[in-house]
Structure 1
Amino acid sequence: MIFDRVKSLDAILATAEKKGLHRSLGAFQLTMLGIGAVIGTGIFVLTSEAAQKAGPGMLLSFIVAGFVCGVAALCYSELASMVPVSGSAYTYTYAVTGELLAWMVGWALILEYAVGASAVAVGWSNHAVGLLRGLGWNFPAVLSNGDALMAKVSLAFGAEATPDLITATQVGGYFNLPAVIISILVTGLLILGTTESARVNAVLVAIKIAALTAFIALTIPVLKSENFTPFLPTGGTGVLGAAASIFFAYVGFDAVSTAAEETKNPQRNVPIGLIASLGVCTLFYLLVASGAIGAIGAQPVMDASGAVLAPGSAEMAGRCAAITASGILEPLVCSKEALVHVLDSIGWPVMGRLVGLAAVLALPSVVLMMMFGQTRVFFVMARDGLLPAKLASVHRKFKTPHVVTAVTGVVVTIAAAVLPVGRLADYSNSGTLFAFLMVAIAVLVLRRKDPTRKRPFRVPAVGIIAPLAIIGCVGLYVSLPLLAILVLPVWGGIGLIVYFMYSRKRSHVGLGLDDVHEDDSDIPPMPGAAPPVY
């Protein structure tokens, strides 16, 4: 049987009890934790992508994405309160539906964390290049994006040589050097063991909030109602497509659910923290998006035949380059630093530079946390025997998992070097949506399999909330671009090959070695041997 391996939930719960976490967090602290984890990624880097897909209708997209995140977060919280250990959705799935599906979730989480980190690195690059431009130094285009490379690859695979595609080969770049630099720096910091203190993180959150508040205060007074017409230029399909991309802007809210074990009165405070943080972030997003749309408009860019171009495509890059070269004000959908561009366009260039500086300061911390999350998932998988133990090796001097961090860094760097932020975000979302789908299914399965087990937090109206989460995740997934939809099954197929050729025969659960030791969670269980230190 391929579904017969389930990690002992009792062993995991015993581990949680041994940790003895102190319950000190209230609803306010959880809300601030969620806001800090969510704001700082998508709103800075995906506003123009969403506008190209839905136009002003992206306001509805933020609401749809926030709702799906909300119902998924409630499911996440029930399992997090029951299984408060490392591994996130991977561990929850292992304890409920078994090893094979847990492997698939862990494999999909690579798309969420590693590819997500690449997307943020590219977003940071766009803002860093823009900030340098504002200071009078034009960073070479050939080293700040991969538009020309993408265009030539498209032509090589038989794409029609449209004027937009030809323009992209002439004015685009081949390599995103700033994104590569920040990826390498973050990888190095993780290997050295550098961590953020709560004080530094609080300062970064304050910077992000202040920048977005300033943007709202400057743009709302000058918005024009005609810029919201037509409101749905691409119809409901465009709204859902933008929601599928904007979903990336909410990634990070699970930090609230994973703190359930340290929360006072989790039955009350966890849902308050989740809903309040998502509500505040959604409100911020709606106000920022409204300011951007109302100030300069957000209608999609079309090709010569009147069809909406795909954001992040080589054709889109070529069309935007042609528009800019003609002397027309650059459309919002073409800007790689949308909020800065809006402030520049309405006569606040200095404030635009400050918003860009805020993004440059804040986004590296998001890259760091995503890469850290990836290493933790790899750690637990290696500890379970599903990946080589070498990946969980601990550096003798720095006491960090240098091998898995370096491997993650290489993947993040390569992706950030050549792919645009929109495509990376869509690829990341495909993995995230699958993981959230499995969490919602796990909640329903465990309610039926083990209804009497203690649940510090219970999903209210689980028969409605969990199915809504499942439907929402599936709906957003099928609304992703075709290539992003195909990434998940192709990546999953590769994962299945690895599982059956390597992981299954080495699984510690399969070998009867399924004890969990969270106090040494950085080290895979190796009976009779000392942990490897290199």
Structure 2
Amino acid sequence: MPAPRIKSPALLVAESGADREGHGLRRTLGRFQLVCFGIGAIVGTGIFVGLSDSVAQAGPAVVVSFVLAAVTCVFTAFAFAELGGAIPVSGSSYSFAYAGLGETTAFLVGWCLLLEYGVSVSAVAVGWSQYVDELLHSLTGLNLPHALAAGPGDGGVVNLPAVIVIALASVLLVRGVRESARATAAMAVLKIAVLVAFCAIGFVAFQDGNLSPFSPAGLGGIGAGTTAAFFSYIGFDAITTAGEEARDPRRDIPFAILVCIGVVTLLYCAVALAAIGALGGDGVGDRPAALSHVVNEVTGSAVGGGVIAFGAVVAIASVVLAVMYGQTRILMSMSRDGLVPRVFEKVSPRTATPVAGTLIVGVVFAVPAAFASLDSVVNLCTIGTLATMVTVNIAVIALRRREPDLARTFRVPLYPATPLLGIGFCLYLIYETGPATWFQFAVFLAAGLLLYAGYGRRNSRLGRGGDQGLTPGDAGRVRQEA
């Protein structure tokens, strides 16, 4: 059996130019922008739309589900923090897998990231459409024509608002990362303010009796709710895709990841408690635009719900922006390695962004957004993300053994227990997605292997010996302590 094609961290950093200015991308993102970017990527459809699904599964015990989902993310967040600081490139999980486990695994991780970043863009855009309709109704008393506000799976024809938000995000990303970062930061601050305001309204109407029975479906319901709640956390790893555009990636990326998980977990638990305490599990579960519904019921007016709907429209739009950013950077890294067509690695000298790649991503993922339902893609997106997280935890262990002297500005605490626990929690949530999702994911992976065998392996720069030019100076620069 041939040895796996593995790229050292030094080679990944050197050929990306991530330790140098003038490599195409520009270093414009500071610590605050990275934190806002992470919150922008996480807080959106999962809490504004998906909360009702989680509550329907777990009841008031959804708070436990959110905590368990957060614990799963925290273990893996440590792994991302260590590797993001040690290998500050745009490839994120893909590059970490290339360094730790080899090219075949890296390609499949990149393939899975199409689910985490790409397909989730479609899911998020569908959720955005629901709140646009709610906002329009609050302002005018009218609703969007159902045929133009939902795909065939939801009884409509085409989800036009979902297509529009993807198009707007594509235009903003093409203009430049500085402009995108400013917009994401502003939207992140606004969405936090809206969720804090929601909590204030919900806790005013809080009644202890609404928390009983606390866990109507038992442990099974909490487990299913955890899987549903996990979708609310997808996106925190997108911070690592900014490795080549952060000013001090080795220090700021680990910081931003851990801060984002902490802030988001507190927000989610507070929102869930406020919503259920105000109306009870039955009043929140299985309702579209659930947060607006809660505020309308508590205040007896559509004005408050309209404000929440406006916040949701902004919040979910920022997720589309941040996640599309991550997707284009992943494809750019894969393109540099020859595993996908070279069009994705081309960076405009005027805007310092991958213009062609961004537009292609926008067009491709506008299609499922226009015609698919939210429920049809959430589980597949979740299992793809979990599989990627398992790989990153394994990569931490592999690189600790193979590259013990690699400069690490953050180290996973309680190693190796922490990455092993991360693997275990992720595998449990994969189990909870169910046999139908397992089968769909197996077919998806098989398609990825065929694509790698037919295109990626043949065109790999590493396989052609095109990446052997790492100089001792490059290696030394990567290994030196920051």
The TM-score, its normalising length taken from structure 1, stands at: 0.79
1: CA distance between counterparts of 2:321 and 2:232? 16
Q: Does 1:236 align with 2:219?
A: yes
* 1:353 Cα offset (Å): 0.3
How has the CA–CA distance of structure 1 residues 195 and 516 changed in structure 2, closer, same or farther, with 3 Å as cutoff?
A: farther
Aligned partner (choices 130, 135, 148) of residue 131 of structure 1 = 135
Q: Which residue of 1 aligns with 2:279?
A: 296
Q: Which residue of 2 aligns with 1:10?
A: 10
Aligned partner (choices 286, 293, 310) of residue 341 of structure 1 = 293
Aligned partner (choices 88, 101, 104) of residue 100 of structure 1 = 104
Q: Which residue of 2 aligns with 1:493?
A: 446
Range with bigger deviation, 112-121 or 385-394 = 385-394
* 1:373 Cα offset (Å): 1.3
Q: How does 1:50-61 map to 2 (within 5 A)?
A: 50-61=54-65
Amino acid at match of 1:460: P
1: CA distance between counterparts of 2:177 and 2:249? 30
1: CA distance between counterparts of 2:219 and 2:160? 37
Q: Which residue of 1 aligns with 2:367?
A: 414
Q: What 5-or-longer segments of structure 2 have no aligned partner? A: 471-482
Tell me the alpha carbon deviations over residues 282-330 of structure 1, each in whole angstroms, 9 at most, x when there is no partner: 111111111111222224xxxxxxxxxxxxxxxxxxxxxxxxxxxxxxx
* 1:46 Cα offset (Å): 0.9
Q: Which residue of 2 aligns with 1:68?
A: 72
How has the CA–CA distance of structure 1 residues 515 and 293 changed in structure 2, closer, same or farther, with 3 Å as cutoff?
A: farther
Q: Does structure 1 conserve the Cα–Cα contact (< 8 Å) formed by 2:37 and 2:322?
A: no
Range with bigger deviation, 179-188 or 91-100 = 179-188
Q: Which residue of 2 aligns with 1:165?
A: none
Range with bigger deviation, 234-243 or 209-218 = 234-243
* 1:264 Cα offset (Å): 9.4
How has the CA–CA distance of structure 1 residues 489 and 3 changed in structure 2, closer, same or farther, with 3 Å as cutoff?
A: farther
Range with bigger deviation, 455-464 or 384-393 = 384-393
Amino acid at match of 1:436: M
1: CA distance between counterparts of 2:278 and 2:292? 12
Q: How does 1:286-435 map to 2 (within 5 A)?
A: 286-299=269-282, 331-346=283-298, 347-393=300-346, 400-435=353-388
Amino acid at match of 1:231: F
* 1:391 Cα offset (Å): 3.9
2: CA distance between counterparts of 1:512 and 1:462? 35
Q: Does structure 2 conserve the Cα–Cα contact (< 8 Å) formed by 1:8 and 1:514?
A: no
1: CA distance between counterparts of 2:63 and 2:464? 51
Range with bigger deviation, 223-232 or 251-260 = 251-260
Tell me the alpha carbon deviations over residues 267-289 of structure 1, each in whole angstroms, 9 at most, x when there is no partner: xx876654443222211111111
Q: Secondary structure of the equivalent of 2:133?
A: helix
2: CA distance between counterparts of 1:354 and 1:122? 20
How has the CA–CA distance of structure 1 residues 187 and 486 changed in structure 2, closer, same or farther, with 3 Å as cutoff?
A: farther
2: CA distance between counterparts of 1:177 and 1:378? 26
Q: Which residue of 2 aligns with 1:185?
A: 168
Amino acid at match of 2:7: K
Range with bigger deviation, 94-103 or 36-45 = 36-45
2: CA distance between counterparts of 1:116 and 1:371? 9
Aligned partner (choices 426, 429, 438) of residue 391 of structure 2 = 438
Q: Does structure 1 conserve the Cα–Cα contact (< 8 Å) formed by 2:173 and 2:180?
A: no
* 1:256 Cα offset (Å): 5.3
Q: Does 1:204 align with 2:207?
A: no
Q: How many residues align?
A: 461
Range with bigger deviation, 32-41 or 488-497 = 32-41
Q: Does structure 2 conserve the Cα–Cα contact (< 8 Å) formed by 1:38 and 1:253?
A: yes
1: CA distance between counterparts of 2:469 and 2:310? 44
Q: How does 1:71-220 map to 2 (within 5 A)?
A: 71-134=75-138, 135-146=140-151, 149-150=152-153, 172-191=155-174, 196=179, 198-220=181-203
Q: Which residue of 1 aligns with 2:436?
A: 483
How has the CA–CA distance of structure 1 residues 379 and 515 changed in structure 2, closer, same or farther, with 3 Å as cutoff?
A: farther
Q: Secondary structure of the equivalent of 1:175?
A: coil
Amino acid at match of 1:124: W
Q: Which structure has the bigger radius of gyration?
A: 1
* 1:419 Cα offset (Å): 2.5
Q: Does structure 1 conserve the Cα–Cα contact (< 8 Å) formed by 2:13 and 2:19?
A: yes
* 1:484 Cα offset (Å): 3.1
Q: How does 1:509-520 map to 2 (within 5 A)?
A: 509-514=462-467
Q: Does structure 2 conserve the Cα–Cα contact (< 8 Å) formed by 1:3 and 1:98?
A: no
Aligned partner (choices 263, 273, 278) of residue 280 of structure 1 = 263
Tell me the alpha carbon deviations over residues 177-228 of structure 1, each in whole angstroms, 9 at most, x when there is no partner: 2212222333344445586354433321221111111111111121222222
Amino acid at match of 2:288: K
Q: Secondary structure of the equivalent of 2:307?
A: helix
How has the CA–CA distance of structure 1 residues 249 and 293 changed in structure 2, closer, same or farther, with 3 Å as cutoff?
A: same
* 1:417 Cα offset (Å): 2.0
2: CA distance between counterparts of 1:71 and 1:196? 32
Q: Does structure 2 conserve the Cα–Cα contact (< 8 Å) formed by 1:45 and 1:120?
A: no
Tell me the alpha carbon deviations over residues 228-277 of structure 1, each in whole angstroms, 9 at most, x when there is no partner: 222222222222222222222222323556678855994xx876654443
Amino acid at match of 1:405: T
Q: Does structure 2 conserve the Cα–Cα contact (< 8 Å) formed by 1:24 and 1:264?
A: no
1: CA distance between counterparts of 2:325 and 2:182? 19
Percent identity between matched residues is 39
* 1:73 Cα offset (Å): 0.6
Q: Does structure 1 conserve the Cα–Cα contact (< 8 Å) formed by 2:65 and 2:223?
A: yes
2: CA distance between counterparts of 1:22 and 1:395? 15
